[in-house]
Structure 1
Amino acid sequence: MKFSILIANYNNGKFFKSCYESLLNQTYQNWEAIILDDCSTDDSVEIIRNIIDKDYRFSIFENDKNYGVGVTKSRLIELSDGQFFGFVDPDDAITPNAIHSSVKAFIKNQDVVLTYSKFIRCDENLTPINTPKLTKQIRNNDQYFFNCPVQIVNFTAIRKDAYEETVKIDSTLRIAEDQDLYLKLYEKGKFKFINEANYFYRMHNGGISQNSNKEKSREYFAKVIFNTMKRRKLKMINGKKIPDQYNTPSDIYTLLEYKHSRLYRLKNRIHVYIELLRGL
Protein backbone atom coordinates (compact mmCIF):
# COMPACT_ATOMS: atom_id res chain seq x y z
CA MET A 1 0.00 0.00 0.00
CA LYS A 2 1.38 3.37 -1.01
CA PHE A 3 2.01 6.23 1.41
CA SER A 4 2.12 9.81 0.08
CA ILE A 5 4.40 12.32 1.80
CA LEU A 6 3.02 15.78 1.03
CA ILE A 7 5.29 18.82 1.30
CA ALA A 8 3.98 22.39 1.05
CA ASN A 9 6.93 24.71 0.50
CA TYR A 10 7.29 28.46 0.79
CA ASN A 11 10.82 29.86 1.05
CA ASN A 12 12.17 26.85 2.96
CA GLY A 13 14.32 25.25 0.28
CA LYS A 14 17.44 25.99 2.30
CA PHE A 15 16.27 23.49 4.93
CA PHE A 16 14.98 20.80 2.57
CA LYS A 17 18.09 18.57 2.51
CA SER A 18 17.34 17.21 6.00
CA CYS A 19 13.74 16.47 5.05
CA TYR A 20 14.87 14.73 1.86
CA GLU A 21 17.44 12.55 3.63
CA SER A 22 14.91 11.51 6.27
CA LEU A 23 12.63 10.20 3.51
CA LEU A 24 15.43 8.23 1.92
CA ASN A 25 16.03 6.53 5.29
CA GLN A 26 12.46 5.19 5.66
CA THR A 27 12.15 1.51 6.55
CA TYR A 28 8.83 1.43 4.66
CA GLN A 29 9.66 1.59 0.98
CA ASN A 30 6.35 2.03 -0.86
CA TRP A 31 6.05 5.81 -0.74
CA GLU A 32 5.98 8.87 -2.94
CA ALA A 33 6.87 12.45 -2.09
CA ILE A 34 4.96 15.31 -3.67
CA ILE A 35 6.20 18.87 -3.27
CA LEU A 36 4.12 21.92 -4.13
CA ASP A 37 5.81 25.30 -4.01
CA ASP A 38 3.51 28.19 -3.12
CA CYS A 39 5.22 30.77 -5.33
CA SER A 40 8.39 31.15 -3.22
CA THR A 41 10.27 34.42 -3.52
CA ASP A 42 13.68 32.80 -3.02
CA ASP A 43 15.53 30.06 -4.91
CA SER A 44 13.66 27.21 -3.15
CA VAL A 45 12.48 25.50 -6.33
CA GLU A 46 15.94 25.39 -7.84
CA ILE A 47 17.43 24.07 -4.59
CA ILE A 48 14.79 21.37 -4.24
CA ARG A 49 15.05 20.29 -7.90
CA ASN A 50 18.82 19.91 -7.53
CA ILE A 51 18.40 17.82 -4.37
CA ILE A 52 15.77 15.39 -5.68
CA ASP A 53 17.49 15.25 -9.11
CA LYS A 54 16.05 12.28 -11.05
CA ASP A 55 14.64 10.31 -8.12
CA TYR A 56 11.33 9.04 -9.56
CA ARG A 57 9.73 8.93 -6.11
CA PHE A 58 9.77 12.74 -5.89
CA SER A 59 7.56 15.13 -7.86
CA ILE A 60 7.61 18.92 -7.63
CA PHE A 61 4.92 21.34 -8.77
CA GLU A 62 4.50 25.11 -8.53
CA ASN A 63 1.48 27.30 -7.82
CA ASP A 64 0.97 30.14 -10.30
CA LYS A 65 0.62 32.57 -7.38
CA ASN A 66 0.80 32.54 -3.59
CA TYR A 67 -2.44 30.92 -2.40
CA GLY A 68 -1.56 30.07 1.18
CA VAL A 69 -1.27 26.78 3.01
CA GLY A 70 -4.97 25.84 2.83
CA VAL A 71 -5.11 25.80 -0.96
CA THR A 72 -1.63 24.30 -1.27
CA LYS A 73 -2.31 21.36 1.04
CA SER A 74 -5.65 20.71 -0.61
CA ARG A 75 -3.95 20.51 -4.00
CA LEU A 76 -1.26 18.24 -2.63
CA ILE A 77 -3.87 15.72 -1.53
CA GLU A 78 -5.47 15.86 -4.99
CA LEU A 79 -2.07 15.13 -6.56
CA SER A 80 -1.38 12.12 -4.33
CA ASP A 81 -1.85 8.46 -5.27
CA GLY A 82 -1.38 6.80 -1.88
CA GLN A 83 -4.02 5.05 0.21
CA PHE A 84 -2.53 7.00 3.15
CA PHE A 85 -0.89 10.40 3.33
CA GLY A 86 0.91 12.65 5.76
CA PHE A 87 2.29 16.18 5.65
CA VAL A 88 5.93 16.93 6.39
CA ASP A 89 7.12 20.52 6.35
CA PRO A 90 10.21 21.07 4.17
CA ASP A 91 12.12 22.51 7.13
CA ASP A 92 11.40 19.45 9.31
CA ALA A 93 12.21 15.72 9.11
CA ILE A 94 10.85 12.34 10.20
CA THR A 95 12.43 9.30 11.80
CA PRO A 96 13.14 6.13 9.79
CA ASN A 97 10.18 4.30 11.34
CA ALA A 98 7.59 7.07 10.94
CA ILE A 99 5.79 5.83 7.84
CA HIS A 100 5.99 2.14 8.75
CA SER A 101 4.45 2.69 12.19
CA SER A 102 1.50 4.56 10.70
CA VAL A 103 0.83 2.06 7.90
CA LYS A 104 0.97 -0.82 10.40
CA ALA A 105 -1.65 0.87 12.59
CA PHE A 106 -3.96 1.47 9.62
CA ILE A 107 -3.72 -2.13 8.46
CA LYS A 108 -4.30 -3.52 11.96
CA ASN A 109 -7.53 -1.54 12.51
CA GLN A 110 -9.70 -0.43 9.58
CA ASP A 111 -11.62 1.94 11.89
CA VAL A 112 -8.51 4.09 12.39
CA VAL A 113 -8.64 7.14 10.12
CA LEU A 114 -5.72 9.11 11.60
CA THR A 115 -2.51 8.26 13.45
CA TYR A 116 -0.29 10.67 15.33
CA SER A 117 2.91 10.48 17.34
CA LYS A 118 5.13 12.53 19.60
CA PHE A 119 7.54 15.06 18.14
CA ILE A 120 11.04 16.23 18.93
CA ARG A 121 11.55 19.97 19.28
CA CYS A 122 14.80 21.01 17.60
CA ASP A 123 16.87 24.16 17.14
CA GLU A 124 17.50 25.80 13.78
CA ASN A 125 20.15 23.17 12.96
CA LEU A 126 17.68 20.35 13.70
CA THR A 127 19.58 19.45 16.85
CA PRO A 128 17.09 17.93 19.36
CA ILE A 129 16.16 20.09 22.35
CA ASN A 130 13.39 18.07 24.02
CA THR A 131 10.35 15.87 23.43
CA PRO A 132 7.18 17.57 24.76
CA LYS A 133 4.93 15.35 26.86
CA LEU A 134 1.61 16.85 25.76
CA THR A 135 0.87 14.10 23.21
CA LYS A 136 -1.03 10.98 24.28
CA GLN A 137 -3.96 8.80 23.23
CA ILE A 138 -7.12 10.90 23.01
CA ARG A 139 -10.63 9.74 23.74
CA ASN A 140 -12.51 8.70 20.60
CA ASN A 141 -16.23 9.18 19.86
CA ASP A 142 -16.58 12.28 22.03
CA GLN A 143 -18.64 15.06 20.44
CA TYR A 144 -17.00 17.53 22.81
CA PHE A 145 -13.46 16.77 21.65
CA PHE A 146 -11.82 19.80 20.00
CA ASN A 147 -8.10 18.98 20.43
CA CYS A 148 -7.91 21.82 22.94
CA PRO A 149 -5.56 21.61 24.81
CA VAL A 150 -3.68 20.39 21.75
CA GLN A 151 -2.69 16.73 21.87
CA ILE A 152 -2.67 15.76 18.20
CA VAL A 153 0.52 16.98 16.61
CA ASN A 154 3.08 15.67 14.12
CA PHE A 155 3.70 13.09 12.84
CA THR A 156 0.10 12.66 11.63
CA ALA A 157 -0.99 10.27 8.90
CA ILE A 158 -4.45 10.05 7.31
CA ARG A 159 -6.46 7.37 5.56
CA LYS A 160 -7.31 8.93 2.21
CA ASP A 161 -10.74 7.35 1.72
CA ALA A 162 -11.78 8.79 5.11
CA TYR A 163 -10.56 12.22 4.01
CA GLU A 164 -12.72 11.95 0.89
CA GLU A 165 -15.78 11.50 3.14
CA THR A 166 -15.20 14.90 4.81
CA VAL A 167 -15.86 18.37 3.39
CA LYS A 168 -12.07 18.42 3.12
CA ILE A 169 -9.56 21.16 3.92
CA ASP A 170 -10.88 24.69 4.29
CA SER A 171 -8.81 26.34 1.57
CA THR A 172 -9.51 29.81 2.99
CA LEU A 173 -7.41 29.07 6.07
CA ARG A 174 -3.77 30.17 6.16
CA ILE A 175 -3.25 28.98 9.75
CA ALA A 176 -4.85 26.12 11.76
CA GLU A 177 -5.89 24.31 8.56
CA ASP A 178 -4.42 21.14 10.07
CA GLN A 179 -6.54 21.41 13.23
CA ASP A 180 -9.62 22.01 11.10
CA LEU A 181 -8.89 18.84 9.14
CA TYR A 182 -8.22 16.78 12.27
CA LEU A 183 -11.60 17.72 13.76
CA LYS A 184 -13.41 16.85 10.53
CA LEU A 185 -11.67 13.47 10.38
CA TYR A 186 -12.45 12.83 14.06
CA GLU A 187 -16.10 12.65 13.05
CA LYS A 188 -15.34 9.83 10.57
CA GLY A 189 -13.44 7.28 12.65
CA LYS A 190 -10.87 6.56 15.35
CA PHE A 191 -7.57 8.27 16.07
CA LYS A 192 -4.59 6.14 17.10
CA PHE A 193 -1.65 7.45 19.11
CA ILE A 194 1.70 5.93 18.20
CA ASN A 195 3.91 6.14 21.25
CA GLU A 196 7.05 7.10 19.35
CA ALA A 197 8.78 10.43 18.71
CA ASN A 198 8.64 10.31 14.91
CA TYR A 199 8.91 13.95 13.86
CA PHE A 200 11.76 16.48 14.11
CA TYR A 201 10.24 19.97 14.43
CA ARG A 202 12.68 22.75 13.57
CA MET A 203 12.38 26.03 15.48
CA HIS A 204 13.36 29.05 13.40
CA ASN A 205 12.17 32.57 12.64
CA GLY A 206 10.47 31.61 9.38
CA GLY A 207 8.16 29.00 10.93
CA ILE A 208 4.50 29.67 10.11
CA SER A 209 3.20 28.86 13.62
CA GLN A 210 6.11 30.39 15.51
CA ASN A 211 6.94 33.78 17.00
CA SER A 212 4.72 36.58 15.60
CA ASN A 213 2.22 34.07 14.22
CA LYS A 214 1.32 32.57 17.60
CA GLU A 215 -1.49 35.04 18.30
CA LYS A 216 -2.89 34.58 14.79
CA SER A 217 -2.76 30.81 15.29
CA ARG A 218 -4.76 31.16 18.50
CA GLU A 219 -7.48 33.18 16.77
CA TYR A 220 -7.71 30.90 13.74
CA PHE A 221 -7.91 27.86 16.01
CA ALA A 222 -10.76 29.46 17.97
CA LYS A 223 -12.67 29.96 14.71
CA VAL A 224 -12.00 26.33 13.75
CA ILE A 225 -13.37 25.14 17.11
CA PHE A 226 -16.46 27.36 16.78
CA ASN A 227 -17.16 26.03 13.28
CA THR A 228 -16.78 22.48 14.62
CA MET A 229 -19.31 23.18 17.37
CA LYS A 230 -21.78 24.41 14.77
CA ARG A 231 -21.09 21.49 12.42
CA ARG A 232 -21.84 19.09 15.27
CA LYS A 233 -25.01 21.05 16.07
CA LEU A 234 -23.99 21.63 19.69
CA LYS A 235 -25.93 24.19 21.73
CA MET A 236 -24.34 23.91 25.18
CA ILE A 237 -20.95 22.89 26.59
CA ASN A 238 -20.59 22.04 30.26
CA GLY A 239 -23.72 24.05 31.09
CA LYS A 240 -22.67 27.11 29.08
CA LYS A 241 -24.41 28.33 25.93
CA ILE A 242 -22.41 28.37 22.72
CA PRO A 243 -22.64 31.80 21.00
CA ASP A 244 -24.76 32.00 17.87
CA GLN A 245 -21.97 33.86 16.10
CA TYR A 246 -18.21 33.98 16.48
CA ASN A 247 -16.97 37.13 18.21
CA THR A 248 -13.65 36.70 20.01
CA PRO A 249 -11.23 33.82 20.76
CA SER A 250 -11.82 34.24 24.50
CA ASP A 251 -15.52 33.43 24.05
CA ILE A 252 -14.55 30.02 22.70
CA TYR A 253 -11.64 29.20 24.98
CA THR A 254 -13.69 30.14 28.05
CA LEU A 255 -16.19 27.43 27.12
CA LEU A 256 -13.40 24.86 27.26
CA GLU A 257 -11.77 25.86 30.55
CA TYR A 258 -13.34 22.87 32.33
CA LYS A 259 -11.06 20.56 30.32
CA HIS A 260 -8.13 21.75 32.46
CA SER A 261 -9.72 20.59 35.72
CA ARG A 262 -8.24 17.64 37.59
CA LEU A 263 -11.59 15.82 37.73
CA TYR A 264 -12.14 16.09 33.98
CA ARG A 265 -8.62 14.86 33.21
CA LEU A 266 -9.11 11.89 35.54
CA LYS A 267 -12.43 10.91 33.94
CA ASN A 268 -10.90 11.31 30.50
CA ARG A 269 -7.97 9.02 31.36
CA ILE A 270 -10.40 6.35 32.58
CA HIS A 271 -12.36 6.49 29.31
CA VAL A 272 -9.15 6.23 27.27
CA TYR A 273 -7.91 3.31 29.38
CA ILE A 274 -11.17 1.41 28.86
CA GLU A 275 -10.99 2.05 25.14
CA LEU A 276 -7.42 0.76 24.99
CA LEU A 277 -8.47 -2.40 26.86
CA ARG A 278 -11.08 -2.96 24.16
CA GLY A 279 -8.30 -3.06 21.63
CA LEU A 280 -8.02 0.23 19.71
Structure 2
Amino acid sequence: MSKFSVLIANYNNGHFFEECFQSLVAQTETDWETIILDDGSTDHSLEIIKNIIGDDPRFRIYQNEENKGIGYTKKRLISLAGSPICGFLDPDDALVPYALEIVLKTHAEHPEAGLVYSNLVFCDEHLQPKSVHKAKQITELDQSYYNFRGEISSFATLKKNVYEKTSGIDPFLKIAEDKDWYMKMCETAPVKYIDEDLYLYRIHKNGISTTTNEDKAVFWHWVAMIKMAERRNINIEDLFLERYVSKGKYEKVLHKLDQVKKSRWAKLGDQLGLFKIFKYL
Protein backbone atom coordinates (compact mmCIF):
# COMPACT_ATOMS: atom_id res chain seq x y z
CA MET A 1 0.00 0.00 0.00
CA SER A 2 1.33 3.43 -0.95
CA LYS A 3 1.43 6.25 1.57
CA PHE A 4 -0.51 8.66 -0.64
CA SER A 5 -3.08 8.51 -3.45
CA VAL A 6 -3.08 11.39 -5.92
CA LEU A 7 -6.59 11.59 -7.41
CA ILE A 8 -7.09 13.11 -10.86
CA ALA A 9 -10.52 13.69 -12.42
CA ASN A 10 -10.09 14.38 -16.13
CA TYR A 11 -12.49 15.80 -18.67
CA ASN A 12 -10.95 17.06 -21.93
CA ASN A 13 -7.76 18.28 -20.24
CA GLY A 14 -5.28 15.73 -21.55
CA HIS A 15 -3.44 18.42 -23.52
CA PHE A 16 -2.35 19.98 -20.21
CA PHE A 17 -1.35 16.72 -18.52
CA GLU A 18 2.38 16.70 -19.34
CA GLU A 19 3.23 19.31 -16.69
CA CYS A 20 0.96 17.63 -14.17
CA PHE A 21 2.74 14.31 -14.80
CA GLN A 22 6.21 15.84 -14.58
CA SER A 23 5.36 17.46 -11.25
CA LEU A 24 4.40 14.06 -9.85
CA VAL A 25 7.46 12.14 -11.00
CA ALA A 26 9.60 14.97 -9.57
CA GLN A 27 8.20 14.57 -6.04
CA THR A 28 10.76 14.22 -3.24
CA GLU A 29 8.36 11.72 -1.62
CA THR A 30 8.36 8.64 -3.83
CA ASP A 31 5.85 6.36 -2.07
CA TRP A 32 2.65 7.33 -3.88
CA GLU A 33 0.12 6.17 -6.46
CA THR A 34 -1.91 8.22 -8.93
CA ILE A 35 -5.43 7.29 -9.94
CA ILE A 36 -6.90 8.95 -13.02
CA LEU A 37 -10.62 8.75 -13.72
CA ASP A 38 -11.77 10.05 -17.10
CA ASP A 39 -15.31 11.41 -17.07
CA GLY A 40 -16.31 10.66 -20.64
CA SER A 41 -13.90 12.99 -22.42
CA THR A 42 -14.89 13.89 -25.96
CA ASP A 43 -11.37 14.67 -27.15
CA HIS A 44 -8.19 12.57 -27.26
CA SER A 45 -7.42 13.05 -23.56
CA LEU A 46 -7.14 9.38 -22.69
CA GLU A 47 -4.80 8.61 -25.57
CA ILE A 48 -2.61 11.60 -24.67
CA ILE A 49 -2.50 10.70 -20.98
CA LYS A 50 -1.69 7.04 -21.66
CA ASN A 51 1.17 8.03 -23.98
CA ILE A 52 2.62 10.37 -21.36
CA ILE A 53 2.40 7.80 -18.56
CA GLY A 54 3.86 4.97 -20.60
CA ASP A 55 4.51 1.91 -18.45
CA ASP A 56 4.92 3.74 -15.11
CA PRO A 57 3.23 1.32 -12.65
CA ARG A 58 2.39 4.10 -10.17
CA PHE A 59 -0.46 5.30 -12.42
CA ARG A 60 -3.85 3.64 -12.77
CA ILE A 61 -6.48 4.81 -15.29
CA TYR A 62 -10.26 4.29 -15.14
CA GLN A 63 -13.20 5.58 -17.16
CA ASN A 64 -16.81 6.47 -16.43
CA GLU A 65 -19.13 4.87 -18.96
CA GLU A 66 -20.58 8.32 -19.64
CA ASN A 67 -20.08 11.86 -18.42
CA LYS A 68 -21.23 11.89 -14.79
CA GLY A 69 -20.00 15.25 -13.52
CA ILE A 70 -17.30 16.25 -11.07
CA GLY A 71 -19.16 15.28 -7.89
CA TYR A 72 -19.73 11.70 -8.99
CA THR A 73 -16.23 11.39 -10.43
CA LYS A 74 -14.38 12.62 -7.35
CA LYS A 75 -16.52 10.50 -5.05
CA ARG A 76 -15.62 7.44 -7.12
CA LEU A 77 -11.94 8.40 -7.12
CA ILE A 78 -11.81 8.28 -3.32
CA SER A 79 -13.40 4.83 -3.38
CA LEU A 80 -10.66 3.69 -5.80
CA ALA A 81 -7.84 5.05 -3.64
CA GLY A 82 -5.68 2.42 -1.96
CA SER A 83 -3.78 4.75 0.37
CA PRO A 84 -4.79 6.05 3.81
CA ILE A 85 -4.22 9.65 2.71
CA CYS A 86 -5.54 11.18 -0.54
CA GLY A 87 -5.50 14.49 -2.36
CA PHE A 88 -7.02 15.86 -5.56
CA LEU A 89 -4.89 17.26 -8.36
CA ASP A 90 -6.50 18.58 -11.54
CA PRO A 91 -4.85 17.44 -14.79
CA ASP A 92 -4.28 21.04 -15.88
CA ASP A 93 -2.51 21.93 -12.61
CA ALA A 94 0.70 20.80 -10.88
CA LEU A 95 2.38 20.35 -7.50
CA VAL A 96 5.68 21.77 -6.30
CA PRO A 97 8.33 19.02 -5.85
CA TYR A 98 8.10 18.82 -2.05
CA ALA A 99 4.27 18.93 -1.80
CA LEU A 100 3.67 15.27 -0.92
CA GLU A 101 6.58 15.19 1.52
CA ILE A 102 5.27 18.19 3.48
CA VAL A 103 1.66 16.98 3.44
CA LEU A 104 2.54 13.49 4.73
CA LYS A 105 4.78 14.97 7.43
CA THR A 106 1.94 17.24 8.58
CA HIS A 107 -0.59 14.40 8.65
CA ALA A 108 1.84 12.35 10.77
CA GLU A 109 2.42 15.25 13.18
CA HIS A 110 -1.31 15.90 13.47
CA PRO A 111 -3.06 12.52 13.64
CA GLU A 112 -6.22 14.23 14.87
CA ALA A 113 -6.55 16.27 11.66
CA GLY A 114 -8.86 14.84 9.02
CA LEU A 115 -8.00 17.49 6.44
CA VAL A 116 -4.63 19.14 5.73
CA TYR A 117 -4.45 22.00 3.23
CA SER A 118 -2.07 24.64 1.91
CA ASN A 119 -1.88 27.82 -0.15
CA LEU A 120 -2.25 27.76 -3.90
CA VAL A 121 -0.38 29.69 -6.58
CA PHE A 122 -2.40 31.25 -9.38
CA CYS A 123 -0.60 30.73 -12.70
CA ASP A 124 -1.16 31.81 -16.28
CA GLU A 125 -2.07 29.37 -19.03
CA HIS A 126 1.60 28.37 -19.32
CA LEU A 127 1.72 27.57 -15.58
CA GLN A 128 3.88 30.59 -14.81
CA PRO A 129 3.17 31.88 -11.27
CA LYS A 130 1.29 35.18 -10.98
CA SER A 131 0.07 35.45 -7.39
CA VAL A 132 -0.39 33.42 -4.21
CA HIS A 133 -3.71 32.76 -2.50
CA LYS A 134 -3.19 32.36 1.24
CA ALA A 135 -5.55 29.97 2.95
CA LYS A 136 -6.57 30.31 6.61
CA GLN A 137 -6.61 28.06 9.66
CA ILE A 138 -10.16 27.03 10.48
CA THR A 139 -10.65 26.51 14.21
CA GLU A 140 -14.40 27.05 14.60
CA LEU A 141 -17.47 26.40 12.48
CA ASP A 142 -17.97 30.14 11.94
CA GLN A 143 -18.16 32.30 8.82
CA SER A 144 -14.59 31.37 7.86
CA TYR A 145 -15.62 27.73 7.80
CA TYR A 146 -18.29 28.62 5.25
CA ASN A 147 -15.34 29.16 2.89
CA PHE A 148 -16.55 32.37 1.28
CA ARG A 149 -13.04 33.48 0.28
CA GLY A 150 -11.25 30.20 -0.07
CA GLU A 151 -10.15 29.85 3.55
CA ILE A 152 -9.58 26.21 2.71
CA SER A 153 -7.82 25.71 -0.62
CA SER A 154 -5.59 23.33 -2.53
CA PHE A 155 -3.52 21.35 -1.93
CA ALA A 156 -6.33 19.82 0.19
CA THR A 157 -5.63 16.29 1.42
CA LEU A 158 -7.71 13.95 3.55
CA LYS A 159 -7.38 10.96 5.81
CA LYS A 160 -9.64 8.39 4.19
CA ASN A 161 -10.81 6.91 7.49
CA VAL A 162 -12.08 10.34 8.59
CA TYR A 163 -13.69 11.06 5.22
CA GLU A 164 -15.58 7.75 5.48
CA LYS A 165 -17.28 9.04 8.65
CA THR A 166 -19.01 11.69 6.52
CA SER A 167 -21.65 11.21 3.81
CA GLY A 168 -18.88 11.81 1.27
CA ILE A 169 -18.78 14.04 -1.78
CA ASP A 170 -22.25 14.79 -3.11
CA PRO A 171 -22.52 13.36 -6.65
CA PHE A 172 -25.31 15.87 -7.38
CA LEU A 173 -22.89 18.80 -7.33
CA LYS A 174 -21.60 19.92 -10.73
CA ILE A 175 -19.15 22.53 -9.38
CA ALA A 176 -18.08 23.45 -5.83
CA GLU A 177 -17.93 19.81 -4.80
CA ASP A 178 -14.74 20.73 -2.95
CA LYS A 179 -16.64 23.24 -0.77
CA ASP A 180 -19.06 20.44 0.09
CA TRP A 181 -16.48 17.96 1.32
CA TYR A 182 -14.30 20.63 2.98
CA MET A 183 -17.25 21.58 5.17
CA LYS A 184 -18.11 17.97 5.93
CA MET A 185 -14.52 17.29 6.99
CA CYS A 186 -14.58 20.39 9.25
CA GLU A 187 -17.72 19.04 10.90
CA THR A 188 -16.11 15.66 11.55
CA ALA A 189 -12.55 16.37 12.79
CA PRO A 190 -10.01 19.21 13.27
CA VAL A 191 -8.33 20.52 10.13
CA LYS A 192 -4.76 21.76 9.71
CA TYR A 193 -3.51 24.61 7.53
CA ILE A 194 0.06 24.55 6.17
CA ASP A 195 1.42 27.97 5.26
CA GLU A 196 3.21 26.61 2.19
CA ASP A 197 2.65 27.29 -1.51
CA LEU A 198 2.21 23.72 -2.72
CA TYR A 199 -0.32 23.81 -5.55
CA LEU A 200 0.04 25.45 -8.98
CA TYR A 201 -3.40 26.43 -10.28
CA ARG A 202 -3.55 27.13 -14.01
CA ILE A 203 -5.97 29.80 -15.24
CA HIS A 204 -7.09 29.30 -18.84
CA LYS A 205 -10.11 30.04 -20.99
CA ASN A 206 -11.88 26.75 -20.24
CA GLY A 207 -11.09 26.76 -16.53
CA ILE A 208 -13.25 27.50 -13.52
CA SER A 209 -11.83 31.04 -13.29
CA THR A 210 -13.32 32.21 -16.56
CA THR A 211 -16.25 34.62 -16.22
CA THR A 212 -19.04 32.23 -17.22
CA ASN A 213 -17.77 29.35 -15.12
CA GLU A 214 -17.09 31.63 -12.16
CA ASP A 215 -20.77 32.64 -12.09
CA LYS A 216 -21.76 28.97 -12.19
CA ALA A 217 -19.33 28.25 -9.38
CA VAL A 218 -21.06 30.85 -7.20
CA PHE A 219 -24.40 29.13 -7.80
CA TRP A 220 -23.08 25.67 -6.91
CA HIS A 221 -21.24 27.08 -3.91
CA TRP A 222 -24.60 28.19 -2.52
CA VAL A 223 -26.12 24.80 -3.26
CA ALA A 224 -23.36 23.28 -1.11
CA MET A 225 -23.94 25.94 1.55
CA ILE A 226 -27.67 25.23 1.72
CA LYS A 227 -26.99 21.51 2.09
CA MET A 228 -24.57 22.32 4.93
CA ALA A 229 -27.18 24.52 6.63
CA GLU A 230 -29.68 21.67 6.44
CA ARG A 231 -27.18 19.25 8.02
CA ARG A 232 -26.44 21.62 10.88
CA ASN A 233 -29.98 22.98 11.24
CA ILE A 234 -28.85 26.60 10.92
CA ASN A 235 -30.23 29.57 8.97
CA ILE A 236 -27.95 31.19 6.38
CA GLU A 237 -30.63 33.36 4.78
CA ASP A 238 -29.08 36.62 6.03
CA LEU A 239 -25.65 35.60 4.72
CA PHE A 240 -27.15 34.93 1.32
CA LEU A 241 -28.99 38.26 1.21
CA GLU A 242 -25.79 40.14 2.10
CA ARG A 243 -24.20 38.82 -1.09
CA TYR A 244 -27.16 38.56 -3.45
CA VAL A 245 -28.14 41.26 -5.94
CA SER A 246 -31.33 40.49 -7.86
CA LYS A 247 -31.28 40.83 -11.62
CA GLY A 248 -34.08 43.40 -11.37
CA LYS A 249 -32.07 45.70 -9.09
CA TYR A 250 -29.00 45.29 -11.26
CA GLU A 251 -30.94 46.24 -14.40
CA LYS A 252 -32.38 49.31 -12.67
CA VAL A 253 -28.87 50.51 -11.85
CA LEU A 254 -27.77 49.97 -15.45
CA HIS A 255 -30.84 51.87 -16.69
CA LYS A 256 -30.11 54.85 -14.42
CA LEU A 257 -26.49 54.83 -15.55
CA ASP A 258 -27.57 54.82 -19.17
CA GLN A 259 -29.89 57.78 -18.51
CA VAL A 260 -27.01 59.72 -16.97
CA LYS A 261 -24.80 58.93 -19.93
CA LYS A 262 -27.41 60.18 -22.40
CA SER A 263 -28.11 63.37 -20.43
CA ARG A 264 -27.28 66.57 -22.36
CA TRP A 265 -25.87 68.04 -19.16
CA ALA A 266 -23.47 65.12 -18.82
CA LYS A 267 -22.40 65.49 -22.43
CA LEU A 268 -21.89 69.24 -21.97
CA GLY A 269 -19.89 68.68 -18.83
CA ASP A 270 -17.74 66.17 -20.67
CA GLN A 271 -17.08 68.66 -23.47
CA LEU A 272 -16.03 71.23 -20.88
CA GLY A 273 -13.67 68.72 -19.31
CA LEU A 274 -15.62 68.54 -16.03
CA PHE A 275 -16.39 64.83 -16.13
CA LYS A 276 -13.20 62.89 -16.78
CA ILE A 277 -14.95 59.62 -15.99
CA PHE A 278 -17.69 60.21 -18.61
CA LYS A 279 -15.91 58.26 -21.33
CA TYR A 280 -15.95 55.11 -19.16
CA LEU A 281 -19.72 55.13 -18.63
Task: Provide TM-score, normalisation by structure 2.
Answer: 0.82
Q: Counterpart of 1:121?
A: 122
Per the alignment, residue 254 of structure 1 pairs with: 241
CA distance in 1, matches of 2:153, 2:225: 16
SS in 2 for 1:46: helix
Partner of 1:275: none
For residues 1-280 of structure 1, what are the structure 2 equivalents within 5 Å?
2-133=3-134, 135-140=135-140, 142=142, 145-235=145-235, 242-243=236-237, 252-254=239-241
Range with bigger deviation, 187-196 or 142-151: 142-151
Shift of 1:110: 1.4
Q: Deviations over 1:45-94 (max 9, x none)?
A: 00000011110000111111111111111111111101000000000000
Aligned-partner Cα distance in 2 for 1:129–1:7: 24
Contact 2:144 2:151 in 1 (8 A): no
Q: Unaligned regions of 5+ residues in structure 1, if any?
A: 236-241, 244-250, 258-280
Assess if the C-alpha contact under 8 Å between 1:141 and 1:190 holds in 2: no
Equivalent AA in structure 2 for residue 35 of structure 1: I
Q: Distance in 2 between matches of 1:206 and 1:84?
A: 30
Specify the SS of the correspondent of 1:101. helix
For 1:21 and 1:110, the matched residues in 2 are separated by 30
Q: Aligned partners of 1:188 and 1:123: how far apart in 2?
A: 35
44-53 or 105-114, which deviates more: 105-114
Matches of 2:141 and 2:13, distance apart in 1: 37
Once the two structures are superposed, residues 151-203 of structure 1 have per-residue CA deviations (whole angstroms, 9 ceiling, x without a partner) of 11111111100110000010011100010000001011111111110011101
Identical columns (%): 44
Moved beyond 6 Å, runs of 4+ = none
Inter-CA distance 209–76: structure 2 relative to 1 (3 Å threshold): farther
Is contact 1:105-1:112 (8 Å) kept? no
Shift of residue 105, structure 1, vs aligned partner? 1.2
Structure 2 CA distance, aligned partners of 1:191 and 1:256? 27
Hey, what does 2:255 align to over in structure 1?
A: none
Greater gyration radius? 2
Aligned residues: 243
Q: CA RMSD in A?
A: 1.8
**Structure 2 spans left out of the alignment, 5+ residues:** 245-281
Report the CA distance shift for 1:143/1:205 in structure 2 as closer, same or farther (over 3 A).
closer
The structural deviation recorded for 1:256 is 8.0
Residue in 2 that maps onto 1:260: none
The residue type paired with residue 101 of structure 2 is H
* 3-state SS of 1:86 partner: strand
